[in-house]
Structures are given as C-alpha cells and as structure tokens.
Amino acid sequence: MTTHVHQFICLKDNFGVLIHDSGSGATASIDVPDADAVIAAAQSQGWEVTDLLITHHHADHVQGMPGLKARYPKLRVVGPAKEAARIGGIDAPLEEGDLARVGGIAAKVIETPGHTAGHISYWFEEDEIAFCGDTLFALGCGRVFETPMAVMWSSLLKLAALPGETEIYCGHEYTEANARFALTIEPDNLALKARAEDVAKRRAAGQATLPTTIALELATNPFLRAEEPSVQAQLGMSGADPAAVFAEIRSRKDRF
C-alpha cells in the first residue's frame, strides 16, 4: 500500500490537495476551493474522490462542496465540530484527537484555533504528512481573525512539536511574500537567506514551494521562532513572553 499526494493551484493562490490510499482506492480532498479544479485533478490521477476533509469555514476552503457532492454523491464530509453548523453538510464533526479515516489510512485531528476559532489540522502520522490549512504557511502563518494572538501561538506550538520530517501542506502559495517579510525579522539567518533564494527560483520557474517540513519551518519561519534570542533581540523584546513576541511579529506582518 502506498499513499500518494497530488497538489495543484486553485483559484488564484489557494492549493488544492488530494491524498490517495492505493490499498483501498480511497481519495480525500483537503478543502475544496473550486470543485471543477478538484474534479479535474482527481481525474488526471485516475482517482475517485471519496472523502472531503475540511479545515475551516472560510469560503475559499469550502465553496466547492456542493459541486464536489454533485459529482461524487457518496462523498463523506468531515470537518471541525466547532464550525460544523456554520459550514453545513458535514457528516462527521471532528474534535482534538479524533481520527479521520480515508480508506486504509487515517489522520489524527489537531485543533489549531487562531485563524478561525474552530480551525483543525489533519496529521497522517504513519505517512508523516500534515495538512494545516491556513494555520501554518511556508515561512508564515495565517492571519489571526477569531481568537486572541496567544491562542494562535499555542496552535503553532502544537504543529511545531510534530516530528521534524513531517511534510506540511498549506492552504495557500504565499511563500515568496512571506520570505520578504521573514528577512525583515531575521536579516542574518543564513538558512532563511538560502531558502528565500530557493523560493524565488522556484516561483520564477512556476513551481510550487510546498510541501515544506516542520524542521525547515523551525529553522526559517519567524512565526515559529518567537523563542529565539536573536529574534527577540531584533525586535527589542529580549526575555519577553514568546506569545507576546509572536503577537508583535504577526502585527508587523499585518502592516507589511
């Protein structure tokens, strides 16, 4: 049995992602920004979409649900319990630690509130893959719309604690702009400088910059580095509460 992931761009800068279990033939779409794009991507791989795993209620993640259900009438939809009423159409509401099964593979649900109050991420532990929606981005993180900043910081810490080799898929291709901002926080981070060059090359070639890994984010993503003395010093916040440092970095990005 093998697990395959197929990632593609939807709308302008959303990612569509499909995860396929070749043992059972099951395929899940992670969110559905655009039903036609997801259906076309599944057909390109010869896969039938059996499951839809929703991360949060924003329209650019759920708006294709009716179209996907129309094409795949047996589609099973799971999503965050705390946003199920708002999203609608969810067959199984999920909470922290629940399992989202996709044929013979399964994701553990990690509640990652912050961007939205009920946002969840999906961790396929055995496959070492996580889908973080709009919580963690490559070199960035989602805007904090619905909770205090400290709640988002706690969610990022949960993701940061996953094994370093975990492959991370995100909701958006924002990496190039994120890199420009990250360099304002850590102008002397050599790993970040090298990564920013790599990101620029990939984008110039029309390539995606995702997936990333937890290890790479820990080394280069300023939003995961609020505890680093060098980051705190750069912000004039040496010794401050990391949650406050995170909040400062996030508010600078909001104004960037």
Catalytically annotated residues: 56, 58, 60-61, 115, 134, 172
Between 21 and 134, whose beta carbon lies closer to Fe ion?
Answer: 134
Q: How far is Cα 240 from Cα 228, in angstroms, rounded to an integer?
A: 11
Instruction: Work out how close the CB of 201 gets to Fe ion at its nearest, in angstroms, rounded to a whole number.
Output: 25
Between 145 and 181, whose beta carbon lies closer to Fe ion?
Answer: 145
Which residues fall within 8 angstroms of residue 72, CB to CB, at 6 or more apart? 48, 49, 50
Q: Which amino acid is located at 224 in the chain?
A: L
Q: How far is Cα 199 from Cα 101, in angstroms, rounded to an integer?
A: 33
Question: Is the omega angle on the peptide bond into residue 211 within 30 degrees of 0, that is, cis?
Answer: yes
Q: Residue 211 binds which one of Zn ion, Fe ion, none, with CB within 5 to 8 A depending on kind? A: none
Q: Residue 31 binds which one of Zn ion, Fe ion, none, with CB within 5 to 8 A depending on kind? A: none
Q: How far is Cα 166 from Cα 62, in angstroms, rounded to an integer?
A: 25
Instruction: Work out how close the CB of 163 gets to Fe ion at its nearest, in angstroms, rounded to a whole number.
Output: 25
Which residues fall within 8 angstroms of residue 190, CB to CB, at 6 or more apart? none
Q: What share of the chain is helix, strand, coil (3-state, %, to 5)?
A: 40, 25, 40
Instruction: Work out how close the CB of 156 gets to Fe ion at its nearest, in angstroms, rounded to a whole number.
Output: 16
Between 63 and 154, whose beta carbon lies closer to Fe ion?
Answer: 63
Question: How big is the chain, counted in residues?
Answer: 256
Between 175 and 234, whose beta carbon lies closer to Zn ion?
Answer: 175
* 25-31-223-12 Cα dihedral, nearest 10 degrees: 110
Between 115 and 225, whose beta carbon lies closer to Fe ion?
Answer: 115
Instruction: Work out how close the CB of 33 gets to Fe ion at its nearest, in angstroms, rounded to a whole number.
Output: 8
Residues near Fe ion (CB under 5 A): 60, 134, 171
Instruction: Work out how close the CB of 36 gets to Fe ion at its nearest, in angstroms, rounded to a whole number.
Output: 18
Residue 169: how many CB atoms within 10 A of its CB?
23
Residues near Zn ion (CB under 5 A): 58, 134
